[in-house]
Amino acid sequence: MSRAEIIVVGREILTGRTLDTNSNWLAKRITALGGDVKRVAVVDDEIDSICGELRTALRNNSRLIVTTGGLGPTFDDKTLDAVAMAAGLPMELNPQALDFVKGRYALFTEKGFIDTDEVTSSREKMAIFPKGAEMLPNPVGTAPGVKLWVGKTLILSLPGVPKEMKAIFEESLLKELGDLFGRRVFREKTITTNLGDESKLGEILDKVMREVSDVYLKSRPTYFGKDVRLEVTLTATGDNEGEVEARIQRAISEIEKRLPP
């Protein structure tokens, strides 16, 4: 089982003010690491909403849950409270995270980005974690990422600022996630058919998917108008590259022999 879910926290996405690109970036990486993203949820900056999605993802037996957003020092940053609530854990000051936050404010004050390195209560808030959670250093900003095991599920909480999220993910998580998903191999291949009619191709794909059941097929038009052509993207996961490639090749042959000459 390599099920993964992504929870995006932020009202600015629900009003349409901000286009969420974090979940797309994460989905690509998690898929490439062998995970199977089955669900993305975007919710408001409210403890109950975030906690509800976390509970759903835990109930779904996800191996990995990644949250983005809601880790900063302001009143509407509530993700960690929701993680603690969903996991049934108290919140407590994480000394390592407090050192990290202090270090970041000292550095940013020294560089002249901000006025004072005093650790106010709202800055300290970024170091208050669900009990037992680990800190993931943020190479770019002030809010550390948070890593918590709940049974067999790994919950990662990352900031919503894309460059901070990406930096934490790539600095701390690649090896761990590869191991989590048993380093399964993911392959994707796209072919272009000589068909322009989705309903006709659909019948072919339907047959092929029954025959090669462990390759996922998806069709889409490449462009509209007189010269519309349908592409098919084949995706498969497995334990070794050769076997996954072979399966995809088999599905391609099965499609090609059914296409008109």
- Enumerate the H helices of the chain as residue ranges: 11-14, 22-32, 47-59, 79-87, 95-110, 121-124, 162-172, 174-180, 198-211, 241-256
Tokens of 11: 């009202």
* CA atoms of 247 and 48, how far apart (whole Å): 44
Among 200, 213, 229, 241, binds its own copies (CB under 8 A): 200
59 near its own copies, rule: CB under 8 A: no
Q: Is 67 exposed, middle or buried (0-12, 13-18, 19+ CB in 10 A)?
A: buried
Among 137, 191, 209, 245, binds its own copies (CB under 8 A): 209
Size of the site for its own copies (CB under 8 A): 68
Among 33, 42, 133, 252, binds its own copies (CB under 8 A): 42
220 near its own copies, rule: CB under 8 A: yes
Among 2, 9, 13, 155, binds its own copies (CB under 8 A): 13
Residue with token string 């770019």: 140
Contact set for its own copies, span 68-127 (CB under 8 A) = 72-76, 112-115, 120, 122-123, 125
Residue with token string 């990352």: 158
Quote the Cα angle for 6-83-170, to 5°: 50
State in angstroms the smallest separation of the CB of 26 from its own copies. 8
Among 203, 239, 241, 243, binds its own copies (CB under 8 A): 203
Cβ closer to its own copies: 30 or 148? 30
Nearest partner of 7 among 46, 144, 74, judged by Cα: 46
* CA atoms of 233 and 156, how far apart (whole Å): 30
State in angstroms the smallest separation of the CB of 29 from its own copies. 8
Binding flags for its own copies, 125-164, as an x/- string (CB under 8 A): x-----------------------------------x---
61 near its own copies, rule: CB under 8 A: no
Quote the Cα angle for 7-134-110, to 5°: 95
Q: Is 188 helix (H, G, I), strand (E, B) or coil?
A: strand
State in angstroms the smallest separation of the CB of 5 from its own copies. 10
Q: Say which DSSP state 226 is in.
A: T
Binding residues for its own copies, per CB under 8 A?
A: 11-17, 19-21, 23-31, 37-45, 49, 56, 72-76, 112-115, 120, 122-123, 125, 161, 188, 196-203, 205-206, 209, 216-221, 224-226, 228, 233, 235
